[in-house]
Every structure is written in structure tokens, then in C-alpha cells.
Structure 1
Amino acid sequence: MTQTTSAPEHEDGTAPPAARFDAVVEAAVQQGLLGEGGPVAGFIDTAGVRASVAALRDAFAATPGVLHTFAAKACSLIPVLRLLADCGMGCEVASPGELRLALEAGFPASRIVLDSPAKTREEIRLALALGVAVNADSLGELRRIDALRNPSTSSVLGLRVNPQVGGGSIGPMSTATDTSKFGVALRDPGAREAIVAAFRERPWLTRLHAHVGSQGCPLELIAAGVARTYELAEEINTTLGVRQITSLDIGGGLPVNFADETVRPSYADYVAALTAAAPGLFSGRYALVTEFGRSLLAKNGFIGARVEYTKDAGGRRIALTHAGAQTATRTVLMPDAWPLRIGAFGPDGVPKGGPVLAQ
């Protein structure tokens, strides 16, 4: 749950997020949405989500035709997905379930990207039949697509590469290390030549995809991975003597500041880092696709949970709630990397005062 410290109103007269969230908790308790009959509930600031989408679009405003997709794994609730679809977003999915949810939420198939690293034949058949874009995760998957692809499909087909630029501060969350399991390892012996050959053999293969990581990855590292992907696209098109690669899926992964309500880094910061690392990326030669998730929602919601019991252990005060590992899995496993800000409320939903206790 968000912290409850007060702050002055914004210049536009609206209350800051913490104050607005406090008011929502009180209203939810009074309306019976949170309490004995509903011990845990999630809340989304729809205006905040729309503002985040607008900030993303503004950052890329100089480059027309960018397809911004929402990573469904960041929040796979249909009402939230429907809100993002209504905002004009596309959707990035990584499983048959996420694909079904995306379609149910109203995303057109032409604005959905499938990125699972272990796609079954049936998943591929369905995506190709629907016209969903598919990023193959390996050369082996490309061979599977060879056998399943109908020339009449409208799906944009791409290949994910691992630019191998290194990891961030959270090893398990880094997806561009030398041994990352995602994509074709670009710097492995013979890999670059094999990738070029794969495109030469498949004129229908028109997209490159890369995703360096998210939390714990500095913008410079993310930009370096995108730059290597851009350079590879240029090399492939030059080698083939034709502009076969027409789009780049640059992934998502903007880190989130969990310490307070400040948005840092911003999407504008991200674009500035990309511009510095790969100036030609925004020249218009390539259509761009993004896959942001958590960064669009992190400041725009919270979990409310009823405290069912309290107890002490070794001088530590413990509150037992209905929001645990099922809602904060990464925090449970890596609390330093995924911290939570917690607010305490009374039975009437009003923020509690008093001294802070160690937890």
C-alpha cells in the first residue's frame, strides 16, 4: 500500500497521489469494498494510467508510427488491459492465456506481439492465423515457423537477439548477459553469420527484437543493447542489398523508482539515452515497437489489505494480511530490489498516526 505522508497540491489543483490514495482507501472501507467481506483489493488510478501513456507518446513524438505495446505480464486483469486498449496501446503477450486476455480486452490482433521463448506449434499456428506479430526466440523456432507459415498470413515476423551487453544490478532480471536464455546470442561464435543467413533465406522475416532487462538496468546499458540491434539491422540490410528489415522491436524495461512518487527515469530520459547511443534509430528508416509494462502502472495504483492479526517475534512487530507472495512475489524473494511503501489505516479507513514500528 502506498505511504500516507501528506504533500501540497499540484499546480493544476489536484491532490498528490498519496493524498488521493488515502481518500480512496477511506471510501473503499466505507463502501464495504475493503474490510471483513473483502480483505484484499487492488486499485488503479485510471487518470494516472492515461497520463503515463501520454508521457510515453510524447517522448516518442518526433518519430511517427511507433507501436507502443503494454507488456501483459505487468497486469493481466482484463479491465486494466481494456483501459490501455482504449488509450490506443497495443499488447505484448508471452503465453496463450495472455493472448486470450488481450483479445478479450479489445486489442486488435494487428497490435499484439507474441514473445514467448517456448512457443508450441499450436501457439504459432494460432498467432499466424490471427495476424498477431511473432518474434521467434531462436533459429530452431524459425525452422518451426518455416513449416507452419501460410504465405497469406498478415503477421509481422521477427527474430529476437541477445545483444550480450551485460547485466544490471539484479542478475536474475538481466536478459542480455552472455548466458541469458532469451534470444539468439549475438556475440557467440558464428551467431552473427547465422542470423544474416536466416534473414537471407526468409524474405518474410522483417523485424529484429531485443530486450536488455528492466529493474536494476541503467539506461546506458539498455541503450547499448538497442544500439547493437540497430547496427545488426543495418548490417543485414546492407549485406542483402535490400531493405528487408523494416521494423525494430526495442522491448521495454524502463526501471522504476520505488522510493517515492517521483518518476525517474522518465520516458524522455530513455529516448535521450537511445538517441545518444543510436542516433539513426529515430531517422524513420525503421518502424519502432516498444513493450513497456510496469513503468506505465507503478505510480498509478496500490494494493489494500485488511490486517487480520498482529503479533511480535524477537522484538519485531508483525502484521498478518491477505496480501502476500501472491501479490508481491518479487518483493518476498528480493526485498531490497523490490521494496514496498506501506501505509497503516484504522478500521474507518483513515490514516493512522503514532510512532513507526520496526517490521
Structure 2
Amino acid sequence: MAAATVNVLPEASEVRDGRLLIGGCDAEAVAREHGTPAYVYAEDDLRARARAFRDALAAHHDGPGEVVFASKAMPSTPVLRLFAQEGLGCDVASGGELHLALHAGFAPERIYLHGNAKSRAELAMAVEAGVGTIVLDNAEEARRLSELAGDREQRVLLRVTPGVDADTHEAILTGQAGSKFGFAPADARALIAAPPAGLRIAGLHMHLGSQLFAMEPYRRAIRALGTLGDFPVYDLGGGLGVPYTAGDPQLGVETWVAGMVEAAHAELGGGRELVLEPGRALVANAGVTLYGVDSVKPGAAGELLVAVDGGMSDNLRPMLYGAAYEAHVVTRMGAEGVASTVVGKHCESGDVLVRDALLPDPRPGDVIVTPATGAYGYALANNYNGQPRPPVVFCSGGSSRVVVRRETYEELHGRDV
């Protein structure tokens, strides 16, 4: 029996006469109008995914709860504003992300400040802004925040490293013993026993890592939290994996949320405030990247080398993690293809976006789509080789609009003094 395949394109997409439509917009027309490379999001997908998480938590949990967007996955104001409109909170991990969240309209009390190396300036910024929850990573940070809090009482959570390994890339594994993130259980117990003045320890936080598809590691980690005491608030982090190619596993929002809540009820008891922090799972499959093909030539193994007008400057994940993606010609979707490698334009042999693609008669001028780039493409974008960063385009109801414009050459030296 053939393995089941999953659709990695946005739900609000379709193929009509071999042409890809995203949010009702013809992908080639979007590329011609707004240029390439471009990050393109199905706006309705973003909203639907936010509602799916909120609805699942409300359906399965018997107490207060909150879904918080891990903004590191896509820290652009238009996406943040959309999630604020949809009733999500916001997880930030730096002063810059805090600034963006406030600028996008998140109420300060709905913001959670994370980070393993918060500066005094970042903590002061959070206190002055009235950030609702600061997630402490270490004892020095607690001491520093206590000084800054003064006469105010600051709600905090302790990030605990539960010592649980999960099946994912080592670079995005965060809950194992010895992780750079969080308190070891013994250190957490010491701070719980003698909390610094001005800090109200409301509960505990954990985060096992990213791209996780099994629930058992979560349950073991939640059980470990339960050994540290009884608290009103438990932030269980995020990490729900997403499919990047048709053969990847898929867990699903409903299954993940139900599993998290069931484990929390079993290990911690009911009625607690539960916080979930999805990031990638909210944005990855809602977005794609469109590229223009600049050249095609034969490779050493008989494949075609298809060079596009972007690369590691707009999607660093293949080089960082060996991440696999699909590629399709947007005007010949589903047509029989030939073995192709999609390479970027940068001065690195490792600048390869997609290996083992099957592209139908690729030629210069074609528009290629790589699905599932909605998370960490924009966030990790850079100016290598002087490449301006791409625009962000929202598509909905057959209309497209630029919500973040393309960077200009002049902006490459705009900070020079």
C-alpha cells in the first residue's frame, strides 16, 4: 500500500487547469505583479489556524486557557496584528519582538516575555510596558527583575528543563538535560522556596523543542512539572510539527491540543490555567515562496540544475537544518516532471533550496513555488550577497496586497554613518 500523502500548500489554495491559485489568486499573476522572490500567505488560512487552536483548547479544557503565538516564527507586524485580532496572546523573546508585538496592537497583559539571556534593558522595557508575564530562565534574571519591579508585583513563570529528549533535529531540541534554556529542576525548587521580592511565581513553563509529532515526550515532561509543586498556571509551550513534503507525518491541531490537555489533566489535575504556544503550526503551511527561474542547465547526475532569483537569503532552513521542501512550476501543477535540483543565486555551493524535485520542462521565466515556507523564512531572512529581503503578500478572496514591501538597494546602506 502506498504511503498516505498530505497537502503542504495552504488550505485556501487550489489547482485549476494546471495553474496554482492561493487565496483565489493566480500564483503566476501574483509573481508578475509583486515580483519575485516573494513570501505569499493565504490570509484566511492564518485566521482559520488561529481559530482552530482556540476552539480546540476551549473544547477540551475545563479551566481558563490561552493560545499564545510564538512570534519568532513570523515576526512581521501584519501577521502579528492578524493574530491579535483573532484573540491570541503573543510570545516574544527579545526587546525587538516585544516592540513589534506592542506596535501590532497586542495588549501588554497578553504578552509573554521569553529568552535565555534577557538584558537588564529588555527586562526594564517589559516592566515599563506592563507585560503580563515574564518567563524566567535563571536565578540571575530573577534577581535583576526583582530590582526592576520595585513596588510592583510582576507575574512570572519559571521555565523548567524537564530532562526529556524528543525526536527532532538537535538544533531545535530544548527540553533535554543540559539545555541552554531554563532552570534545572533542583534550581527551580530553590527559587520556588525563596522567591525574590516583587515576583509572583504563578506557575511553570516548559518547551521541548520544535517539529514534534509524538505525544509521549510531552506527557513525561508534564509529569516532571508536577513534581515541583502545585501551581495555578502551566505554560506547556509549543512544538507541534508540520509537514513540509507530501510524505511527512501530520499530527493535526485537534489531536495535539487534546493530547496536551489530557496529559495536563491527568498529571496536574483539572481547572488550571493552561497556556499553549504554537508558532510554526500557525504559519508554516499558510505561506509559500514564489521564485522566478533565471537559468536551467544539466547537472552531473543527469538532473537539471534550476537556478532561481532567491535562495539562502530568503530561506536559510535547508542550509541550517537540511530541511526538505517541495517545488512546483505554478503553471504546470501536476504535470509529469524531470529530476531537478532547485538552487539559489548565492555564492555558496550549499545554497540548495530543493533536492530531488520533479519539475515539468522547467525553463527561464517560469515561476516556481516552494510550499510551507510560512515559518522562519521571513524571520531568518538576510542580505547575503546584497540581496534585498522579499515582500510579504496576503491573498484572500481573489485579491492580493503587499503588507510588507520589498527592501530596496538604498536600504542596504541606510544605517551607515
| Same fold per superposition (TM over 0.5) | yes
1:357 aligns with 2:343: no
Closer/same/farther in 2, CA of residues 352 and 289 from structure 1, 3 Å limit = closer
CA separation in 2, counterparts of 1:263 and 1:19?
23
Tell me how far 1:325 sits from its aligned partner: 1.7
Tell me how far 1:356 sits from its aligned partner: 2.4
Q: What is aligned with 1:194? A: 190
Conserved 8 A contact 1:17-1:261: no
Tell me how far 1:312 sits from its aligned partner: 2.5
CA separation in 1, counterparts of 2:261 and 2:66?
18
Q: Secondary structure at the match of 1:233?
A: coil
Query: Which of these residues, 326, 340, 352, is aligned with residue 341 of structure 1?
Result: 326
Once the two structures are superposed, residues 317-356 of structure 1 have per-residue CA deviations (whole angstroms, 9 ceiling, x without a partner) of 1122233223322222333xx32111113xxx55483432
Alignment of 1:33-182 (within 5 A): 33-35=30-32, 38-61=35-58, 62-63=60-61, 64-132=63-131, 133-152=133-152, 155-182=154-181
CA separation in 1, counterparts of 2:188 and 2:112?
24
1:207 aligns with 2:194: no
CA separation in 1, counterparts of 2:276 and 2:156?
15
More strand by share: 2
Q: Secondary structure at the match of 2:21?
A: helix
CA separation in 2, counterparts of 1:330 and 1:168?
18
Q: What is aligned with 1:251? A: 237
Query: Which of these residues, 223, 235, 238, is aligned with residue 227 of structure 1?
Result: 223
How big is the alpha-carbon RMSD for the aligned residues of Structure 1 and Structure 2?
Answer: 3.0
CA separation in 2, counterparts of 1:28 and 1:264?
25
CA separation in 1, counterparts of 2:241 and 2:137?
23
Identity percentage of aligned residues = 31
1:313 aligns with 2:299: yes
Once the two structures are superposed, residues 203-245 of structure 1 have per-residue CA deviations (whole angstroms, 9 ceiling, x without a partner) of 62222111011214622112321232234232xxxxxxxxxx3
Tell me how far 1:156 sits from its aligned partner: 2.2
Q: Secondary structure at the match of 1:104?
A: helix
Conserved 8 A contact 1:35-1:306: no
Unmatched segments (≥5 aa) in structure 2: 342-417
1:326 aligns with 2:325: no
Query: Which of these residues, 265, 269, 280, is aligned with residue 279 of structure 1?
Result: 265
Closer/same/farther in 2, CA of residues 261 and 312 from structure 1, 3 Å limit = closer
Q: What is aligned with 1:301? A: 287
CA separation in 1, counterparts of 2:207 and 2:46?
23
CA separation in 1, counterparts of 2:11 and 2:70?
29
Q: Which amino acid aligns with 1:340?
A: Y
CA separation in 1, counterparts of 2:81 and 2:267?
30
Unmatched segments (≥5 aa) in structure 1: 8-13, 235-244
CA separation in 2, counterparts of 1:299 and 1:261?
14
More helix by share: 1
Q: Which moved more, 1:71-80 or 1:273-282?
A: 273-282
Corresponding pairs, count: 328
CA separation in 2, counterparts of 1:192 and 1:42?
41
Once the two structures are superposed, residues 31-52 of structure 1 have per-residue CA deviations (whole angstroms, 9 ceiling, x without a partner) of xx42497221111112112221
Q: Which moved more, 1:82-91 or 1:165-174?
A: 165-174
Q: What is aligned with 1:292? A: 278
Conserved 8 A contact 1:85-1:107: yes
Tell me how far 1:163 sits from its aligned partner: 0.5
CA separation in 2, counterparts of 1:15 and 1:106?
27
Q: What is aligned with 2:390? A: none
Tell me how far 1:53 sits from its aligned partner: 1.6
Q: Secondary structure at the match of 2:276?
A: strand
Tell me how far 1:87 sits from its aligned partner: 0.6
Q: Secondary structure at the match of 1:214?
A: coil
Tell me how far 1:297 sits from its aligned partner: 1.6
CA separation in 2, counterparts of 1:300 and 1:262?
16
